Every structure is written in structure tokens, then in C-alpha cells.
């Protein structure tokens, strides 16, 4: 763990193993922190808070610039570790490291744009001034599916704003978090400003962050169920909180769209990170006139996906996070088939004996998916493409919005009017029009409804870590 500028073991002396999801091999063991370790981390962050808040935005930016450069210099080794620990193919792991570095660069630049303003008064002897000040100690909880980019997406704006932080990385990918902290330490982050508690008991550490009065903001990426509990706990102390939770993205192929182009996009985004992305499409709506061409191209592209260990050459589909995820995939497929769906490809664990020690599931295509099936309502978070034919485009908005989630949506159309209609009426925070990657460090990322609230990235991402102060001055 990293507390007050020192690498240390847990107070209990306990450690836990980190394994490779592709074969179950133990990669390393790490400190297994608990409540007492978290309290020390919070205390260190609180002690460092005042001095860090007094630094200039240029000083903070310089550290973030250095961290960005160091991350790019170490991109290859970080990507290899990420592939081994999380399971994703090396080329995608390398892309995530670059994405993580982008947040360091963006917020290094954005730090210098924390502007205040003056507001005219109705009184001639009065002036109003608005300032933005750091919120204080931040508790950051990050997920396993994008374990390095989600760290920088939270810590970079926190540091830029003048906040200190305590990070709890997920228990399945703490090694990449450790390497990220080594980079931040090398870049010159002062002791106590960032702290990290690795743990196999996330509830104990998370509850400590929620309950402690020194922690003034919580930022979390993960499941909706856990997010709701964190929001309830934060509300009891009126802590600021931002939540990036689950998704159930619709992928809409309109009648005028190019079905082959749409199928290419659907394949890329559906099977990205083995489907383990909150913005991954769950319901693929295809106009019946385009269905044959779309399915033909989708099946062709899926058949070329290579499943295997992330460091193996040519692999595009890695393992799922754990065996429970594999069982969830099988349950959704079996339920859909029992209720009338048609299996076009995949549908089970691969039969390759070289993969039997890992958490693999074959890339799968289901058609004739209907609302009574679990896959139509539940977030899949895996490599299953659920395809639904539709006839009347007037029903599309209601079909797409018929979910408690509201993170991402995708629309393929060649009609500008359709594009604007979808952007304005779909109840999702992120919408891609003929675009499967509507995200970047410089744009806000986040959802509506049970997909959470608050935004990460962009100007909005920095505001999440700032308090607004107003001064009225009589002259």
C-alpha cells in the first residue's frame, strides 16, 4: 500500500494473491488492507490537504505533465502487466494505457483554467466575486475492467483541483494501480497527497471512506447496486459524490443505414474488452429490411475474432473477470434459447483444452431476442450480441428508452434529421451517431437514471472536485 509517501504492508500483516484470469496463475501477492490502514490513509490525506490546496495550478500542472510523460515512456511494460492481470489483449491494453495518460495531460492543461468571475450588483457600493476551491479529501473507488484509465480519470482532476485522495483499487487488479502510483510518486506528488489501500475486503475499506467525516467527496465506477449503497451513505454526511454505474446500451440500425458498416461498428464495440465495458451495447435493434445483410456481416466478423490469453499473438477476445461471469453468460444464453431466441454463433465456453483453466466464453450472437428474456433487461457485461428485429421506426425511441439505465446509445443512420431526433430524444448521457467511440479525455462522460450522476472528463470532470465560494464585498 502507499500511505503518506511510503510503501508499506497492511497493519494486520495479511496479503492476498492476484491471479491471471486467463489461466489462474498467481502473478503476485499484495498487502491486504482494512479499516485501520484506511484510517491512516485518510489522516495522511487530510494532513496534506491544506498545503496541497495552496499550491498554484501551474505547480500541479507540472506534476501531471511529468506523470503523463512517464506513463507514455512505460506504455509497453504497463500494457503487458495490464494484459496479464486483467486479461485484455495486449494491443487493447496498450490503448488503455494511452487513454489513461490522456487524462493526465488533459487535466494538467485544465488545471490552469480554474477561473473565478465577478458578478455585477444592484448596489453601487457592492461587488460579488466567485471562486472555485478544492473540495478536500477524495475517496476514489475504481473498477477492474479499465483499471488504469479509471484511476487517472479520477485522480488527475482531483490533483488538478487541489484535492488530496485515498484510492481503493479493485481487488482483482491492484498491480496496475501500484505501478500507476509509482509513476505519480516519481512525477513529484508530495507525500500524503495521494494514498492507496489495496484490499480483498472492498466493503470494509469503502465503508470507512463513506463514514469518515474528513472525506468530502466519493467518486466510484462500478455496479449500480453498489453505487446506490454508496450514494445512500454519502447522503448521510452530505458528501459530494459522482457515480459511473451500469449500462444497457441500445445499438440502433435505422432503415436508411448501411447495414455492413453498422455490423462492423457493432462488432467492434460489442466485443470490446470481451464485452466488459459499461458502454457496450446490450440490445441491437436492426430494421427487418437490413437484417439479412447485417447478420451476414456480423457473423462473418465474429467468426474471425480470436479467443485466448491477452499476450498471445492475434488475440482479440480475452477472459472474463471470473467464473461467476461465465456462469452469467451461460444463464442468459440458456434463458434466451428457452424463450425462443435463435443461436447464430457461440453460446458456450470454448472447447479448447488450452483455455480450460481460464474464464472464457465464446463470442455469441443471438437473434429473435424479446423483452421477456433476461438478456433484454439485464446488463450482460460479456461477449453476447443480442439482435432484435423491428419494423416501425416510430417505436424506436420508446424501445430504446425502455430501461432503467441511461449511459450510452448508438445510432447508425445516413439521415441528418434522424440523427438529431435520436440525440435529442434518447435518454442516455453518451450517444454515438455512426460512431462507436464517443469518448475522450476532453469530453464529459457519464449517464442518466440508474447509470449514475456526475461527469468525468472534460471541463465538467474538474468541476466535480471543486466547491463554489461567493464573496460579497462592500466598498
163 part of the active site: no
Catalytic residue among 278, 297, 456, 464: 278
Element (H, E) at 52: helix 35-54
Nearest to 370 by CA among 398, 346, 344, 341: 341
Catalytic residue among 244, 297, 379, 464: 244
What CA–CA distance (Å, rounded) separates 86 from 310? 9
Cell of 368: 429473435
**Are 386 and 363 in contact, with CB atoms under 8 Å apart?**
no
**Are 391 and 352 in contact, with CB atoms under 8 Å apart?**
no
What CA–CA distance (Å, rounded) separates 208 from 94? 34
List the strands of the sheet with 126-134, edge to edge. 117-119, 126-134, 466-474
User: Which residues of 267-324 form beta strands (DSSP E)?
Assistant: 281-287
Put residue 70 in one of left, alpha, beta given phi > 0 → left and psi -120 to 50 → alpha.
Answer: alpha
DSSP secondary structure string for all residues of 191-212: TTTEEE---S-HHHHHHHHHH-
Give the count of alpha carbons within 13 A of 264, CB side only.
Answer: 6
244 part of the active site: yes
Nearest to 21 by CA among 85, 92, 89: 85
Cell of 421: 431526433
Catalytic residues: 244, 278
Amino acid at each position: 500500500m502507499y500511505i503518506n509517501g511510503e510503501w508499506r504492508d497492511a497493519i494486520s500483516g495479511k496479503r492476498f494473491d492476484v491471479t491471471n484470469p486467463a489461466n489462474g496463475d498467481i502473478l503476485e501477492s499484495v498487502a491486504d488492507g482494512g479499516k485501520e490502514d484506511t484510517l491512516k490513509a485518510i489522516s495522511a490525506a487530510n494532513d496534506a490537504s491544506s498545503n496541497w490546496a495552496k499550491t498554484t495550478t501551474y505547480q500541479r500542472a507540472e506534476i501531471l505533465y511529468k506523470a503523463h510523460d512517464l506513463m507514455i515512456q512505460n506504455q509497453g511494460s504497463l500494457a503487458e502487466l495490464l494484459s496479464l492481470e486483467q486479461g485484455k489483449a495486449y494491443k487493447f491494453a496498450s490503448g488503455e494505457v494511452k487513454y489513461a495518460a490522456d487524462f493526465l495531460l488533459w487535466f494538467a492543461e485544465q488545471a490552469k483554467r480554474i477561473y473565478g468571475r465577478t458578478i455585477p450588483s444592484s448596489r453601487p457600493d457592492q461587488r460579488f466575486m466567485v471562486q472555485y476551491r478544492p473540495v478536500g479529501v477524495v475517496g476514489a473507488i475504481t473498477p477492474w475492467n479499465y483499471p488504469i484509465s479509471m484511476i487517472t480519470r479520477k485522480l488527475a482532476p482531483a490533483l488538478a483541483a487541489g484535492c488530496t485522495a485515498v484510492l481503493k483499487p479493485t481487488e482483482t487488479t491492484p498491480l496496475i494501480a501500484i505501478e500507476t502510483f509509482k509513476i505519480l510518486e516519481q512525477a513529484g506528488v508530495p507525500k500524503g497527497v495521494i494514498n492507496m489501500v489495496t484490499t480483498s475486503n472492498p466493503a470494509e475499506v469503502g465503508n470507512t471512506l463513506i463514514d469518515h467525516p474528513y472525506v468530502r467527496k466519493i467518486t466510484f465506477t462500478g455496479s449500480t447496486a453498489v453505487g446506490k449503497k454508496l450514494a445512500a451513505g454519502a447522503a448521510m454526511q452530505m458528501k459530494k459524490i459522482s457515480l459511473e454505474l451500469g449500462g444497457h446500451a441500445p445499438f440502433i440500425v435505422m432503415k436508411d443505414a448501411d447495414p455492413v458498416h453498422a455490423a462492423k461498428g457493432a462488432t467492434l464495440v460489442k466485443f470490446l474488452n470481451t464485452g466488459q465495458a459499461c458502454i457496450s451495447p446490450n440490445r441491437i435493434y436492426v430494421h427487418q429490411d437490413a437484417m439479412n445483410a447485417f447478420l451476414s456481416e456480423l457473423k462473418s466478423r465474429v467468426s474471425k475474432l480470436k479467443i485466448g490469453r491477452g499476450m498471445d499473438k492475434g488475440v482479440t477476445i480475452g477472459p472474463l473477470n471470473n467464473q461467476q461471469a461465465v456462469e452469467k453468460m451461460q444463464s442468459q444464453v440458456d434463458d434466451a434459447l428457452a424463450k425462443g431466441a435463435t443461436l447464430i454463433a457461440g453460446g458456450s465456453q470454448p472447447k479448447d483444452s488450452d483455455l480450460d483453466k481460464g474464464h472464457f466464453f465464446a463470442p455469441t450472437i443471438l437473434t429473435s431476442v424479446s423483452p421477456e428474456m433476461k438478456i433484454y433487461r439485464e446488463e450482460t457485461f460479456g461477449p453476447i450480441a443480442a439482435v432484435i428485429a423491428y419494423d416501425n421506426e416510430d417505436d424506436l425511441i420508446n424501445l430504446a428508452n425502455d430501461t432503467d439505465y441511461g449511459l450510452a446509445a448508438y445510432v447508425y443512420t445516413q439521415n441528418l434529421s434522424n440523427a438529431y431526433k435520436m440525440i435529442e430524444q434518447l435518454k442516455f448521457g453518451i450517444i454515438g451517431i455512426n460512431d462507436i467511440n464517443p469518448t475522450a479525455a476532453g469530453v464529459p462522460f457519464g449517464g442518466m437514471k440508474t447509470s449514475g450522476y456526475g461527469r468525468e472528463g472534460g471541463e465538467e470532470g474538474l468541476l466535480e472536485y471543486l466547491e463554489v465560494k461567493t464573496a460579497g464585498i462592500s466598498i
